[in-house]
Structures are given as structure tokens and as C-alpha cells.
Structure 1
């Protein structure tokens, strides 16, 4: 596939950070329900929460699960937890640095489009050794746009920054819903397997190229013609 530009998701795509939610449920369940084994239904989470703007996701979780504390307290709990996770636990996914380095050497333009709040994006990128590949202008959060990845707005904004045609711009995503959105908008789609997802088959179906279990991000390189 001929590619001039690439739009990357961060969590679960470039950064192995989706274990955040497993740890989050454990600590949240223990703190608010006395149950460290608490989990939101994974299908409900994938469908309604994963692609939301982070702040909206936390508000949704607070209301949907009827968390027994004021919203402000739960917001603060989530903010502290996310900062701790990105600085101490998250790491670059296998092949991420190799892929980004190769694309940069080939002159492929790159942009980050994430549902994570902007205040955490730079922390995560620095912590995982990925900050050198992006500039402030090429880092876009759904919170900047005002909608999540159930709509193509963040991808279209990223493509405008890149200045590349949609048909030659690849979107790398681990979320089936987000990848479906990108595909409907006319982008080339690359699905990235993540063990924390419950919808691998749906992700593969939405992908022009699927990087399944056992692959790394660098395995996309032979399929990308500049």
C-alpha cells in the first residue's frame, strides 16, 4: 500500500498502556466497592467507553457504575492514577521505535491522534521514549476536537496537519470502533492486536492490514510503499 502519512493512536497501539484499565478496575473496585476483582463488562467497555475522550469516560464510569463518591473526587482519583501509570508502568510496544524510525527515514509524515487528554500525552511519550518522533503540532487529542473516535473528526484534523491525501494516509489503531470510523472516512486502516481487547475479529475485519497476535509494529514496514 502506498503511504505518504501515518496517524497513530497511542494507548494500545504505540504504547503498551491498556493494562491501565485492568489496574484501574482493581484499585477502583478495592477503594469504592471493597472488591479488587471488580471489572466493567468488557463488551460494554469496548463499545461505549474505550474511544471516549478520557474525561468523558471517567464521568461515564462514575455515573454508569454509581461510584459512591462525588464526581470531583473520582476525577481526582483517575487523574492521579493515570499520571502514576504513564510514568511508572507504561512502555513502548514491541517494534514501535523501529517502525517510527524507519518511517522518519523514509520521509513519511507522522501524527498522533489519541482519546487521551493532552496533559497526559507528553508524559507518556517521554516516559516511553517516543517523544522525539512528534512535535506539539503533530500531537492531537480528542479533547482538542471535542468528540471521540466514534466520529472521524480527530483523524481528519490529523490528516490536515499532515497534508496528505486520505487514500495514502494510514491509521494505526487497536480499537475496532475507531478503525471502522477511519475506514468509513476513506483512510487506509491498520489494525494492531492488543491482548486487552475483546474484539480482535471485528478489528481484523476493519483493517486493510492486520497485525495480529505474535506480530510487532515493525511487521507493517514490508507492506508500506512510500
Structure 2
């Protein structure tokens, strides 16, 4: 193992953004809750069952926005028209709800700013200094803006985000395609790349892509679930990998 806590065969690091590099996962969770609770309240009345943290972890965390809408609603036996990508945020379609969530996220980011996890920044800098290649892999269409707001955009050589995925027609997590694209753009085979994820869908993507190492970042008290879904190691903070390495 190197001082980065990775096998010596790993030459590239593929980082998820929300929840791994930045504290924006809580912002996304709050925006999803506000979006779905408003919809469910209109649909079912005062006795509606609210969207909760378990719903976030199981059905939307780490997924492309429209996939998250479909997956969560299907868990409640609800099916909406797809609509179109430019649907207004007050329209009860898959894309309408997704656009409502995105508008809420942007508002919350503007109001609250973006904070990067200090341990993750330390780790990304250590990876850079050790000569490892580095990419960000995120389902967010706002990835570049978030990285810039957090002041860490310059730490990564490649960005595969929601915009790039749409342009290249790449399916999102739990499919491995976005991570595979990042490894390809870095010139690194999957077996020589490590995936860093906090979402269960990201763990599945790491396992499905046959990557060399999968690091689960336990931000939601789900260490065992991360292991069951494909993590080779689970940490509460990426700095632990630096501290534990010889």
C-alpha cells in the first residue's frame, strides 16, 4: 500500500463530488425533500408520507436527476409523464420535478455557499503530489460551478458530470459508464483506477466497472451497506487513508 492508502497498482483517483469532495449532499437532500414533499402533498393531501433520509439514500443519491425522480416515485407506485427537459418547475412531470429540484439546489448554493471537506482536499492534493491522475465524476449538471465555488476546480484534470454524460449519452450510476469515461480520458485502465464514493449507487458502479479499488466514504452512517454494495474499504473521512498509511 502507498501512503495514500491505495494498492501500488492504482495510478488514478476518480472522485464523486457531492458528499465526497463537497458538503453539497445535504443541500441536495434538502432540495429533494422540498420537491417531493410538495408534490406528494398536492397529490395525497395532508396525510401524505414525506420523503425521508432513507428514501434519499436508496432512490436518488448519486443518480442523474431524472433517474432519481423516476426511481423514488416508482417506490411509491407513482408514474408521471416524462415531459421535456425544458418543462417549468411547477409541472408534474419527471423533468418538471427534476427542474424544480435543480432550481432549489442553485438557490441554496447561492445562499449558503459551498464548502469542501478539508480531509478530501488534503487527500486530493496528496494524490496530485504523488503523481496520480485525478478526475471528478458527478451526476450533477452544476459540477463545474460547485467545484469553482469551493475553490478546488484546479485539483482535477478531468470532469465527467451531468452535462458531459448527456453529450456522450452515458448512463448514470449505478452503471459504471461515467467512471469508465473518466478513466479513459485520464488514459488509465479501470483496473489501475480507484473510485471514491459515498452513495450506494456509486459503490455498485465501482464494482460493475471492475475498478482496481473502491473507497466508500461513510457520510450517512451506512458503513455496512457501503461494504455490501462493493466498497473495498470504508472511511469516515479521506484523511484517514493518509493517517493509516505507513
Do the aligned partners of residues 55 and 184 (structure 1) sit closer, same or farther apart at CA in structure 2, a change above 3 Å counting? Answer: closer
Q: Deviations over 1:152-196 (max 9, x none)?
A: 11111111111123222110001123213312322111010112x
Q: Deviations over 1:63-122 (max 9, x none)?
A: 7667984336534422221212333243212312111111111111001111112xx011
In 2: Cα distance, 1:153 partner to 1:223 partner: 31
Do the aligned partners of residues 22 and 57 (structure 1) sit closer, same or farther apart at CA in structure 2, a change above 3 Å counting? Answer: closer
How much is the aligned-residue C-alpha RMSD, in angstroms? 3.0
In 1: Cα distance, 2:208 partner to 2:109 partner: 31
Provide structure 2 residue ranges, at least 5 long, that are not aligned to the other structure: 1-6, 81-89
Contact 1:25–1:38 under 8 Å retained in 2: no
Do the aligned partners of residues 202 and 76 (structure 1) sit closer, same or farther apart at CA in structure 2, a change above 3 Å counting? Answer: closer
1:218 and 2:239 equivalent? Answer: yes
Do the aligned partners of residues 116 and 29 (structure 1) sit closer, same or farther apart at CA in structure 2, a change above 3 Å counting? Answer: closer
1:133 and 2:158 equivalent? Answer: no
Specify the alignment match of 1:53 in structure 2. Answer: 64
> Highest Rg: 1 or 2?
2
Q: 204, 208, 216: which one pairs with 1:191? A: 216
> In structure 2, the residue corresponding to 1:95 is in which secondary structure?
helix
Aligned residues: 215
Q: TM-score, normalised by structure 2?
A: 0.74
Q: 83, 90, 102: which one pairs with 1:79? A: 102
> In structure 1, the residue corresponding to 2:34 is in which secondary structure?
helix
Do the aligned partners of residues 90 and 39 (structure 1) sit closer, same or farther apart at CA in structure 2, a change above 3 Å counting? Answer: farther
Specify the alignment match of 2:226 in structure 1. Answer: 203
In 2: Cα distance, 1:81 partner to 1:95 partner: 27
Specify the alignment match of 1:180 in structure 2. Answer: 204
